Amino acid sequence: MFFVTTVTWQRTPLFRNQEKAELMLDVLAHYQGRRKYLLHEFVITPDHLHLLITPAEGISLERALQLIKGGFSYRLGKSKRGLVWQESFTNHRIHDEHDFEKHAEYIRMNPVRARMAEWPGLYPSSSAGVTRGCSGLKPACPNLDLTRP
């Protein structure tokens, strides 16, 4: 399981546009539905994403992010590299339940700290703002299997 941050090209506030934020939600749900990863927590801010993600067996973290970023770029209609995303991403391997909770809380509170919402559940482009089970984005439990790479 990993905490991942990826940033839009030159920090363009792409997801300030609600249609583009909803497109990203669809992409996240699509690849989770195809069992490419488990998405435990996420937040889509105007210019970056934070994810708590466990790639599926046989899928590298790099491949999971390629699917997400490439899938979004393709659906957006901008398949040329560099127009939508910074090329890299940062990640931190989650070591234990405490580490998981610390990063999950960071993700949930991100819109509040950035003054985009007064309460985590009021921000629609996040796991805190998505009803469990209805979108296919958030599993019923965090599935903390920390034994897998």
Q: What pTM value is reported for the model?
A: 0.83
Q: What whole-number distance in Å separates Cα of residue 58 and Cα of residue 72? A: 22
**Tokens matching residue 44:** 């889509």
Residues of the chain with pLDDT under 50: 79, 132-136, 138-149
What mean pLDDT is reported for the chain?
85
End-to-end Cα spacing for the chain? 7
User: What domains can you pick out in the chain, each with its CATH number?
Assistant: 2-122 (3.30.70.1290)
Q: How high is the pLDDT of residue 94? A: 95
Q: Which residues contact 26 (CB under 8 A, 6 or more apart)?
A: 75
Q: What whole-number distance in Å separates Cα of residue 121 and Cα of residue 73? A: 27
